[in-house]
Amino acid sequence: MTVSKKGKRKIVVEGRTYYWYVKEGEEWTDLELTVILEERLFLHRSFGYAMQMRLPKPITPEKVRQEILKELEYNRQRKILSALPDAEAPDGWQRIADLPEPCPYGIGLDDREDMLLAVYYPQKGELPFGSAWVRLYSLEDCREIASEVVSIRSFSNRDTSCLGIGPLAGKRIPFAGWSQSGLLIRNPDGDLLYQPPFSPKDIYFQPSGQNCLDPAPYDGCYRLWHGTYPHQRFGFAASGRRFVLVRDQVITVWGKLI
């Protein structure tokens, strides 16, 4: 996409010339920064605090420089990650279950036992208005051990914990919705579930002692999922020998081989 440089401000970063401009966004408290390199769009950022009803800070040339350097680093990291292979399961792990959830909203993982709480909003007319299904699974054998219909108000996208059901009734457990997560992304062995900040649709597995962003030869780093939307609904169970990822209308469970 070719973008005109007319009327744009000029800035030089690491010997290259960029052009930039700022305009108001869709919300009156938002500012949008656009940077052009060689007549093509280089980056687009939105800055604002509409929810807090505060005006954003002015975007200065130094702020533009920082954003350009950040994007250059992101581009370097994208190139490294693009070389990683996709895998159904990392080395030493196996995919043990796909739990069908029609419209999974969020998941909770107990911090003491390998139990999964799955929350989904029903299809139109399936449940009373304002209700959601909650199911509790044992991750040892992926067997459903409890289910309840609860008020949607019991779960907030801003919360990182929720109330359990069944044997976890009355207990608050770590929870992950669309954009917030209280789940563990690193297990006691040092394995990591990695979501790049510049590519929130991708989830990578990084084994202990390795680094997905190290340009040296990789050993056991894989991309597990490339979705259609960003989300935070993934994490390790309490033992660290199970991990869970919401994938479209399925919650997938992996287990570590003995």
Tens digit of pLDDT for each residue in 117-127? Answer: 998 877 666 76
Q: Which residues partner with 162 through β-bridges?
A: 173
Give pLDDT, residue 215: 78
Please state the rounded mean pLDDT for residues 207-220: 87
Lowest mean pLDDT among 102-111, 152-161, 224-233, 239-248: 152-161
| Model confidence at 258: pLDDT above 90 | no
Query: What are the sequence ranges of the domains in the chain?
Result: 9-81, 93-256
Backbone phi, psi, residue 130, to 5°? 85, 10
Confidence of residue 228 (pLDDT cuts 50, 70, 90): confident
Please state the rounded mean pLDDT for residues 242-256: 92
Please state the rounded mean pLDDT for residues 191-218: 90
| Model confidence at 140: pLDDT above 70 | yes
Residues 6+ apart with CB under 8 A from 33: 20, 21, 22, 43, 44, 45, 46, 47, 59, 63, 64, 67
| Model confidence at 205: pLDDT above 50 | yes
Summary mean pLDDT of the chain? 87
Q: Which of 3, 58, 53, 48 is nearest to 26 (CA)?
A: 48
71 CB-side CA count, 13 A: 19
Please give the single-letter amino acid code of residue 132.
Answer: A
74 in Cβ contact with 58 (< 8 Å): no
CA distances from residue 163 to 110, 237, 243 in whole angstroms, order as listed:
10, 17, 20
Cα dihedral 214, 218, 220, 222 sign: positive
Give pLDDT, residue 118: 92
Cα(127)–Cα(79) distance, integer angstroms: 46
pLDDT tens for 77-98 read 999 999 999 999 999 999 999 9
Give pLDDT, residue 167: 95
% the chain with pLDDT above 90 = 60
Confidence of residue 50 (pLDDT cuts 50, 70, 90): very low
| Assigned token pair, 98 | 């796909």
Radius of gyration of the chain (CA): 22
Give pLDDT, residue 108: 94
Give pLDDT, residue 197: 86
| Assigned token pair, 22 | 């700022």
Give pLDDT, residue 231: 76
Confidence of residue 51 (pLDDT cuts 50, 70, 90): very low
